Amino acid sequence: MYRVDEDKVYSAYDHAKEMYAEFGVNTDEILKEMDKIHISIHCWQGDDVIGFEEGVNGLTGGGIVATGNWPGRARNGAELREDIEMALSLIPGKHRVNLHAIYAETDGEFVDRDQISIEHFKKWIDWAKEKGIGLDFNPTFFSHQKANSGYTLSSKDDKIRKFWINHGKRSREIANAIGKELNNQCVNNIWIPDGSKDLPANRIEHRKLLKESLDEIFAVKYEKSNMLDSVESKLFGIGSESYVVGSHEFYLGYALKNNIMLCLDMGHFHPTESVADKISSILTFSDNLLIHVSRGVRWDSDHVVILNDELLSLAKEIKRCNAYDKVYIALDFFDASINRIAAWVVGARATLKAILISLLEPTHLLVEQENKGNLGNRLALMEEFKALPFYAVWNKYCMDKNVPIGTSWINLVDEYENKVLKHRN
């Protein structure tokens, strides 16, 4: 396989640096900016969102599916951490790892979701400490018998609702303890699957119940420096095509009214709706925003993220709002039909490439034309800037961060597959 050699990386970088400098962009400075970017890498790509809970052996309910059966799925914490480490070694920069409650390690004992606590995440915390990385957290409101009716926090059954409220509370407690232990703010994101396949007769009742449940969950206040709450909306899921309780409008209202962060998942809107366009509206009213970087193909299919127009517009919009310090970026996809390490690395590298491209954009020149009212020139510049040599800067970035340059990481994934993944079954 073609491997970019290091001298070539330097000379290409020098050329690129000159070219960007002509447009007033200092590439060395931009590479320093990249050091401030820490994306959250989701652990659930490594095991098809199954988790370690006793008696659960597949993603069930909740309207999300992982399809495929590529060999080598991580079956326990040790394997999952080993795989994440492998992926991290191929992704430039220092990043975070995003956990779900179902990744609790309970030593073979069944601990229900309303009972989990910080001790079940000790191995993750020790590991994160050793690696010097931050952790994020998510309560898991799916793949559980008490989610089978299709309703959790918005259930009309008080017992069910109480159970999930307790899970939500436990998760916040855990996230807060993680943030404290690591001395690194932990984002705790709530997504619930609640909704209905066919037309509900009463939409508002579930929404009122969801609001009440959230109020209870959020009653305890934690230091934001330890833990930051967020809520994730959705348009529809499989089995909740006609109605999702936690819709965009619902959570936009809830988040703004209660000073909680909103999470926009790129797969959770109409396919032609631009998530990028929503950023500036939300940031006008909110201090921050969480993005789940995903790729819907015709529907919320959670495909591996690639460097497509949606991702580029998202990154450019964050840059143009000067909001990389306000927008939290977390990956959210799961593909079981390809090597899972490759999935992680492709998605993370694509996201970082988009961020780098956005930071390298000579935005000030676009704004200058806009302010002059010369919109033809603005469009012309936007088109020209698309072809600026970002790849030379990207390779330099990878080299600086001691990760494989160009395509050379692909061989390493193959080797890991032969050495490690193929021996799992």
42 binds Zn ion (CB under 5 A): no
Which of 234, 248, 353, 396 is catalytic? The answer is 234
Give me the 283-302 binding string for Zn ion, x by CB under 5 A, dash otherwise: ---------x----------
Compute the distance between CA of residue 220 and CA of residue 3 in angstroms, rounded to an integer: 53
How long, in residues, is the chain? 425
What lies within 8 Å, CB to CB, of 92 at 6+ separation is 34, 349, 352, 397, 398, 400, 401, 403
Nearest to 203 by CA among 268, 146, 250: 250
Which of 136, 181, 229, 300 is catalytic? The answer is 300
- In the complex, minimum distance from the CB of residue 173 to ligand RNT, in angstroms, rounded to a whole number: 19
- Judge whether 302 counts as a catalytic residue: yes
Q: Is residue 351 within 8 Å of residue 305, measured between CB atoms?
A: yes
Q: Strand (E) positions, 72-131?
A: 96-98
Select 265 or 417, whichever has its Cβ closest to ligand RNT: 265
Compute the distance between CA of residue 173 and CA of residue 369 in angstroms, rounded to an integer: 50
The residue of the chain with the least Cβ separation from ligand RNT equals 191
- Judge whether 265 counts as a catalytic residue: yes
Compute the distance between CA of residue 63 and CA of residue 144 in angstroms, rounded to an integer: 13
Sign of the torsion angle spanned by Cα atoms 349, 355, 357, 360: negative
Q: Is residue 312 within 8 Å of residue 276, measured between CB atoms?
A: no
Which of 83, 265, 335, 361 is catalytic? The answer is 265
Compute the distance between CA of residue 425 and CA of residue 408 in angstroms, rounded to an integer: 27
Give the 3-state secondary structure of residue 182: helix
Residues that bind ligand RNT (CB under 6 A): 44, 49, 64, 138, 191, 232, 234, 265, 292, 300, 332
Q: Which residues pair with 228 in a beta bridge?
A: 187
Select 98 or 213, whichever has its Cβ closest to ligand RNT: 98
- In the complex, minimum distance from the CB of residue 237 to ligand RNT, in angstroms, rounded to a whole number: 6
Select 229 or 332, whichever has its Cβ closest to ligand RNT: 332
278 binds Zn ion (CB under 5 A): no
Element (H, E) at 360: helix 340-360
Which of 268, 319, 353, 396 is catalytic? The answer is 268
- Judge whether 409 counts as a catalytic residue: no
Select 191 or 390, whichever has its Cβ closest to Zn ion: 191
- Judge whether 112 counts as a catalytic residue: no
- In the complex, minimum distance from the CB of residue 265 to ligand RNT, in angstroms, rounded to a whole number: 4
Distances in whole angstroms, Cα of residue 108 to Cα of each of 79, 120, 321: 16, 11, 48
Q: How many positions of this chain bind Zn ion (CB under 5 A)? A: 3
Q: Which does 44 bind (CB under 5 to 8 A by kind): Zn ion, ligand RNT, none?
A: ligand RNT
- In the complex, minimum distance from the CB of residue 389 to ligand RNT, in angstroms, rounded to a whole number: 35
- In the complex, minimum distance from the CB of residue 277 to ligand RNT, in angstroms, rounded to a whole number: 20
- Judge whether 127 counts as a catalytic residue: no
- Exposure string of 363-381, with b = 16+ CB inside 10 Å and e = fewer, is bebbeebeeeeeeeebeeb
- Judge whether 114 counts as a catalytic residue: no
- In the complex, minimum distance from the CB of residue 47 to ligand RNT, in angstroms, rounded to a whole number: 11
- In the complex, minimum distance from the CB of residue 147 to ligand RNT, in angstroms, rounded to a whole number: 13
Select 238 or 307, whichever has its Cβ closest to ligand RNT: 238
Q: Is residue 295 within 8 Å of residue 287, measured between CB atoms?
A: no
Tell which one of 194, 332, 335, 417 touches Zn ion (CB under 5 A): 332
Select 230 or 358, whichever has its Cβ closest to ligand RNT: 230
- Judge whether 48 counts as a catalytic residue: no
Q: Which residues pair with 42 in a beta bridge?
A: 98
Select 124 or 394, whichever has its Cβ closest to ligand RNT: 124
What lies within 8 Å, CB to CB, of 156 at 6+ separation is 205, 206, 209
Chain residues in the site for Zn ion (CB under 5 A): 265, 292, 332
* Active site members: 191, 232, 234, 265, 268, 292, 300, 302, 332
